[in-house]
Amino acid sequence: MKSEAVKVGPDRAPHRSLFFATGICRESLERPLIGIASAFSDLVPGHIEMRNLERFIERGIEAAGGTPFVFGVPAICDGIAMGHEGMRFSLPSRDVIADGIEAVVQGHALDGIVFLTNCDKITPGMLMAAARLNIPAIFVTAGPMLAGHYQKRRLSFVRDTFEAAGRYHKGEITLEELHELEMEACPGAGSCQGLYTANTMACLTETMGMSLPFCGTAPAVLAEKKRIAYQSGKRIVELVRENITPRKIMTTSALRNAIVMDLALGGSTNTVLHLLALAKELENGAINLNTFDELSRKVPHLVMLRPAGDLFMEDLHFAGGIPAVLSTLGELIEDNPTVSGKSIREIQQSVRFIDREVIRSLDNPHSVEGGIAVLYGSLAPEGSVVKQSAVDPEMRVFKGKAVCFSSEEEAMQAITAGKIQKGSVIVIRYEGPKGGPGMREMLAPTSAIVGMGLSKDVALITDGRFSGGTRGPCIGHISPEAFEGGPIALIKDGDEILIDIPQRKIELLVDEAELQKRKESFVPPPPRYTRGLLARYAKLARPTHQGASMA
């Protein structure tokens, strides 16, 4: 066992003494030492019940003959960080999480690890750590929140807070109604109820085989989640004894399966960044941005959860969860091992119930193409990403005149003040990985556009990114970014922009000679940060089409 480096032999008496100081006995020290990387936080609704899950994981580890050690991992709630300076720290925190876990596990020579996670950047950061460390590992995602309820209708976080704020600015609801919605939209523990980034990543983690069946969808408050935590604790000890490591599970097939699932569910565009960053950690050059587009043309969109539709994560769970979607996808999914000990094919064959009102069959999809599309063109030579499953069919081809802003705040002020005209393409630039820095999510402006009734009249493009809650014709991850002199930096108010999702095009309709003239006079703005995490991220971050990590 790896832990023998800190517990075996007379020269390790000092090390053993320090372990005994934690309260464990000699017998416990002779067992596999299992870390529980817990992202518990009182600040993050998706993480507030993790103390209970820690207990059940510990019970499982002890029952299987291991010795558990809980240690903390930082967590940011993207919903709370949204729309202000704090969002710049969210994506960089992914690298901080991976680095911190690597340091703790290597520093203490742990034999295996349970990743207790849930929300937006924590799960991908932990996946990156698992790939880098390559010691036996298993994931427990803490589960989605139940729907809120208000006057006989179900509520979700994005639609009934961010979009409701836009409806208030438009005059459709009163301030009192807005306050009632904000009180009821998030009724308790769990990640936000729709197919936003946290829940998408939980589903993809299960699909890749890194968590037990149904872990990705089981709601946070159910006893089922505690049982999954207990079984995961038991299973990690077996994984250590069997020497089953993450790189034996997170193969090219596993990553392709995750992309297929993402497309079938209509998941968050953030998963593009996260899967590309994970592929980088795995040293897997077979997965790139074009993989998403290749598979998107083959994989139908089968599930319509919020924000694109009206269903919730709880509906997907009770419809059969990820195993039911895997079964439905059939041969579009490749066989692969999983931490459960069952292969993907065995999980597919074990399914006994599928609710076809929630999970459509292959011959009756919502769309013949997957939920995400990758667009290229003169405006995005290295690619851009759109959640096409959340775009109205009428807006999948759109030509409009640019209205340019150099920050999210500038755009938000114009939108809420009613200054955006129909037929506009809102351009938000200098929000990329280096220019932001931190590649902020644009949920506030996109939700305001929907709330103010403009989602069929205007588009939004950015070198930043979008929340999983975004819907409408919103194209993000435009690469190269403005700070690096990409074409998005050269746009002027009034320039015509063509967005053609079916043809995978995004074009700046400006004469090449004029663009060259603008490029010659381009001067990037000074860096916003010269010290600390964001300065380091701006210096080291890869471009979006490579995952935007510092690795």
Question: Residue 121 annotated as binding?
Answer: yes
CA angle 83, 87, 90 (to 5 degrees): 150
120 carries a ligand binding annotation? yes
Q: Is 340 annotated as catalytic?
A: no
Distance in angstroms (rounded) separating the CA atoms of residues 374 and 475: 9
78 appears as a binding residue in the annotation: yes
Q: Are 408 and 442 in contact (CB under 8 A)?
A: yes
Residue position matching structure tokens 């935590």: 229
DSSP bridge partners of 498: 399, 507
List of residues 6+ apart from 227 with CB closer than 8 A: 56
Burial of 525 (0-12, 13-18, 19+ CB in 10 A): exposed
65 touches 31 (CB < 8 A): yes
Taking the C-alpha atoms of residue 43 and residue 50, their distance in angstroms, rounded to an integer, is: 12
Pick from 388, 361, 183: which is nearest to 292 by CA? 388
Residue 422 contacts residue 413 (beta carbons within 8 Å): no
One-character DSSP codes across 314-370: HHHHHTTHHHHHHHHHGGGSPP-B-TTSSBHHHHHHT-----TTTS--TTS-SBSS-
151: left (phi over 0), alpha (psi -120 to 50) or beta: left
How many degrees, rounded to 5, is the angle at CA 15 between CA 10 and CA 18?
135
HSE, side-chain direction, 13 A CA sphere, residue 104 = 22
The one catalytic residue among 232, 424, 467, 479: 467
Cβ-proximal residues to 189 (8 Å cutoff; 6+ apart), any chain: 45, 46, 48, 49, 142, 145, 220, 221
Task: Report the distance separating Cα 112 and Cα 68, nearest Å.
Answer: 10
Among residues 208, 198, 298, 215, the alpha carbon closest in space to that of 253 is found at 208
Please identify every residue annotated as catalytic: 467
The binding site comprises 78, 120-121, 441
The binding site for Mg(2+) comprises 78, 120-121, 441
